[in-house]
Chains A and B, each alone.
Chain A
Amino acid sequence: MKIKSERDFWSGIMFVVVGVIFAVGATNYSMGPACPPNDPCAANLWARMSQLSAHPGAGYFPLGLSVLLVLLGAVVLFKSLTIESVGGDPIGGFAWRPLAIIVGAIVLFGFMLERFGLALTVPVLIIISSLAGDEFHWKGVLLNAIVLTFFSWLVFIAGLKLTIPLWPAFFG
C-alpha cells in the first residue's frame, strides 16, 4: 500500500487515535441508568439504546463524538491511500529548533514567574526565545530584554494592576 497524501494520512491517523483514546476514556463514565429488571432493554439492543438516550449519562456524548471522530478519521485515512494528490502532499521538514526553543521558553516562563518574579523571568524568556531566530546579536537581544521588562512592568503591573510578582520570592 502506498500513501498518496502524506498530510492526510497522518491527519487521519491523528483523528483515529484521538478518537479511540477518548472512546476508551468514555467507557469509565456512566452511559445512563442501568436496565431495570423485566424490561425489554435487557434482551434488545435497540431498546437498550433508546432507554439510555432517555437519561443520557456523563459518558453518552463523549462516546458518540469519539465514534464519529474515528469514522471521519478512517475516511480521511482511506482517501489518503486511494486518491492521488499533487506530489504526494509531503509534510516536509520540521522546524525542530524554533519548536523546541519556543516551547521550552514557555515552560521555563511558567516555572520561573512565581518563583523569581517578572524582573528576572522576562529577560530570561526574551534571551532564550531569541535563540530561535536565525540572527542572534547579544547587544540587540539585551536591549530588547531591558525594554520589554520595563514595558511589561509598566503595562501589566503598574498599569493593569495584575497580581504578578515583580521580584524573586526569596526577597520577601
Chain B
Amino acid sequence: MDLIHNLGIGFGVAFTVQNLLYAFFGCMLGTLIGVLPGIGPTATIAMLLPTTYALDATPALIMLAGIYYGAQYGGSTTAILINVPGESSSVVTAIDGYQMARQGRAGAALATAALGSFFAGCVGTIIIAAFAPPLTELAFKFGPAEYFSLMVLGLIGAVVLASGSLLKAISMIILGLLLAQINTDVISGTARYSFDIPQLTDGIGFVVIAMGLFGFGEIISNLGRPAEHREVFTSKVKGLWPTKDDFQRAWPAVVRGTSLGSLLGVLPGGGALLSSFASYTLEKKLAGASGNFGKGDIRGVAGPESANNAGAQTSFVPMLTLGIPPNPVMALMVGAMTIKGIQPGPQVMTSNPQLFWGLIASMWVGNAMLVILNLPLIGMWIKLLTVPYRFLFPAITLFCCIGVYSLNNSNFDVFMTAIFAFVGYAFYKLSVEPAPLLLGFILGPMMEENLRRALLLSRGDWGTFVTRPLSSGLLIASALLIVIVTLPSIRQKREVAFSEE
C-alpha cells in the first residue's frame, strides 16, 4: 500500500539520530519560548528561525515543525495557568482551563491538553499522509482563479466563527490586504506606498505586525488593567493526573474535537483557530444543562485543545500541496523552504519525497516527544510562572525586541514594531480583532497575483471566477458561510455563545 510505503520512507528519515535530535531540540526550544506569556508560535518561530539557517532543508523543517508544536503547547500552558493565551487558537482553552487552574486542577487541565493534543496529532498525521497525494493531484488542476477563490473561502472561513462583529472582522481582513500592498508590485515592478523609504519596498515584515499587534498590544492592555485581573493561581496545584471521571468526560470531546479540527484545518486561513472555536461551541451545545462551561469544565479544555492541534496538523496540507501558507506560522515555514531553495507547491512531493514524508513523520515524532517532555515538566512550568508580572513583562518586551531586530538585523523593523504596538493598543480599545488583519496581510500578495493572472487569462472577464466549476464551488461555499452566520437564529446563538465566554 502506498500510504504505508510512504510513511515508511518518512519514518526512515525521521528516525535517524540526527533528525530525532533536531525534533527534540525543536520541541524543547519551542516549549521553552512558547511558555513565555505573550509569545505564541509565530513569534517563537520568528525568533528561532535563524537557528536553522546552518542546517540542511530536511532537518531545518523538522526542527521548525518541532518548534511549532512545542510553542503551541507552550501557548496552551500559559492560557491554562495565567489566563494569557500565547496565540489566538488557545483563547478558548483559557476560558475553562484557567477556571480549572483556579480550582487547583491545573495539572489535570495540562495533562488533558497534552494527551488530547497527542491523540489529535496521531490522527492528523495519518490524515495528512492519506490525503496529501490526492490533494496534490487536485492542486495541479488549480489555476489562478481557483487559488483566488480558495483564499476568499479561507479568509471568510476564518472570520465567521471568530468572536465579535462580522462586519468589522471583514473590514480588518481588507485592511490587512491593503497593508500587504506596501511592497513592490511583482508584475510591473512598481514600488507602492513606499514613500521612498527603501526598507518599505520589500513590504512590512509580518512578524513586525504580529509582534506589535499581539505581543505589545497585549502587554500594554494588560498593564492598563488593574492588577487583580492578572492574578496567578499557582500555590495550590494538586495532582497531575485527571481522575477516572475526567477521562470519561474528556474522551468523547477529544474525538469530536479531533474530527472537527482535521476537517477545518485544511481550509487556508487559520484552521487551528477556527476549529478550536467551533469545537468549544459544539461541546457547549452537546453538554447542554449538564455542563458547567465557563466554570472549569474539562470538556472545554479537551475539545478545543484536540481540535486546534488537529487543525494545526492538517493546516500543513494546503502548505505542502498548494504552497499556500494558511497561517503566519506556515508562512514562515514557506520562507524557510524558499531559503533552502525549495519552491513550495505540489511538486515538492515528487521532487523531494524524503523531505515531504520525513516532515510528515516527524510531526508524529514531535507530538510524541511533547508528551514525554511535558508531562514530567508540568510542575516546572508552574514554578516558572510564579514569576510576578512586573518581572515578566519587561522580559517579554526584551525578547520581542530582540526577535524583531534579528529578523533582518535592522533597527528599522524595531521602529515599525513600535508603530504597530500603538496600533495594536488602538485596536484593543476599539474592540476590533487583529487576527483577521494578519491573515489578510499574509494572503494579500498571493491573492493579488492570482486575481490579476486570472483576469489576464480571461481577458478582463470577471465571470471567470464563477464559470470555472472548481472556483465557483469555492465561492458558493464562502457565500453560504456568510449567509449561514447572518441568519437571525444562528446569529443569536453565536452572540450568546461568545457573550457568556
User: Which residues of A approach B to under 8 Å, CB–CB?
Assistant: 7-8, 10-11, 14-15, 18-19, 22, 25, 29-30, 50-62, 65-66, 68-69, 72-73, 75-76, 79, 91-92, 94-95, 98-99, 102-103, 105-107, 109-111, 113-114, 122, 125-126, 129-130, 132-136, 140-141, 144, 148, 152, 156, 160-164
Q: How far is the CA of A23 from the CA of B314 in the complex (A)?
A: 38
- Name the one of A62, A76, A111 contacting B171, with C-beta atoms under 8 angstroms: A76
Q: How far is the CA of A106 from the CA of B406 in the complex (A)?
A: 14
B354 → chain A closest CB, angstroms: 27
Report yes or no: B414 in contact with A140, Cβ–Cβ below 8 A: no
Report yes or no: A15 in contact with B175, Cβ–Cβ below 8 A: yes
B444 → chain A closest CB, angstroms: 9
B392 → chain A closest CB, angstroms: 9
The interface residues of chain B lying within 8 Å CB-to-CB of A126 are 394-395, 398
The interface residues of chain B lying within 8 Å CB-to-CB of A164 are 402, 405-406, 409
Which of B181-189, B266-274, B369-377 is the contact stretch?
B181-189
Contacting A at CB under 8 A, from B461-477, are 461-462
- Which single residue of chain B is at the shortest CB-CB distance from A57? B188
Q: How far is the CA of A61 from the CA of B372 in the complex (A)?
A: 49
The interface residues of chain B lying within 8 Å CB-to-CB of A18 are 175, 178
B200 → chain A closest CB, angstroms: 12
Interface bracket on B:
35 or more
The interface residues of chain B lying within 8 Å CB-to-CB of A135 are 390
Contact mask for chain B residues 443-474; partner A; CB cutoff 8 A; 1 contact, 0 none: 00000100110011001111000000000000
The interface residues of chain A lying within 8 Å CB-to-CB of B455 are 53-54, 56
The interface residues of chain B lying within 8 Å CB-to-CB of A122 are 398
Contacting A at CB under 8 A, from B237-292, are none
Known contacts A91-B430, A98-B224; A156/B168 CB under 8 A: no
* Contacts A/B (CB < 8 Å), 5 sampled: A22-B178, A79-B167, A106-B414, A110-B412, A148-B394
Q: How far is the CA of A116 from the CA of B397 in the complex (A)?
A: 18
B389 at the interface (CB under 8 A from A): yes
Report yes or no: A144 in contact with B394, Cβ–Cβ below 8 A: yes
Report yes or no: A103 in contact with B422, Cβ–Cβ below 8 A: yes
Report yes or no: A11 in contact with B168, Cβ–Cβ below 8 A: yes
Report yes or no: B398 in contact with A22, Cβ–Cβ below 8 A: no
Q: A55-B460, A92-B429, A140-B390 are in contact. List 11 more A-B contacts (CB 8 A).
A: A53-B462, A61-B448, A66-B178, A94-B224, A98-B219, A102-B216, A102-B220, A113-B414, A114-B411, A125-B397, A135-B390
B7 at the interface (CB under 8 A from A): no
